[in-house]
Amino acid sequence: MKFSEIIDQASDLLRRKGRITYRTLRLEFGLDEDQLDVLKEELIEGQRVAVLSRPPGKPAGLPRGNAKP
């Protein structure tokens, strides 16, 4: 699968679920750490379909929304 297809599928999954953890993205798409970093950057900074959210004591996730990081 091309990385652009992973980006599209991750973006669709994010819109459907509302929130996604990084661990879920790694498992869902079989990503290594470098690939996960690129995907996070694309979703947060490139497409702006996600923002970094880390409530105290909870792991970071990718919440859906139009807010800019």
12 belongs to a structural domain: yes
pLDDT(38) > 50: yes
Containing domain of residue 57, as a range? 3-63
Average pLDDT of 19-46? 89
Q: Report the pLDDT value the prediction gives residue 67, as an integer from 0 to 100.
A: 46
Instruction: Return the beta strands (E) in 6-60 as ranges.
Output: 19-21
Mean pLDDT of the chain: 79
Q: Based on DSSP, count helices (H) and strands (E) in the chain, helices before strands.
A: 3, 2
Q: Is the pTM of this model over 0.95?
A: no
19, part of any domain = yes
**Domain at 50, CATH number:** 1.10.10
In a domain? residue 27: yes
Residue 34 falls inside a structural domain: yes
Residues 6+ apart with CB under 8 A from 5: none
> For position 60, what pLDDT does the model report?
55
Q: How many domains does the chain have?
A: 1
pLDDT at 53: 61
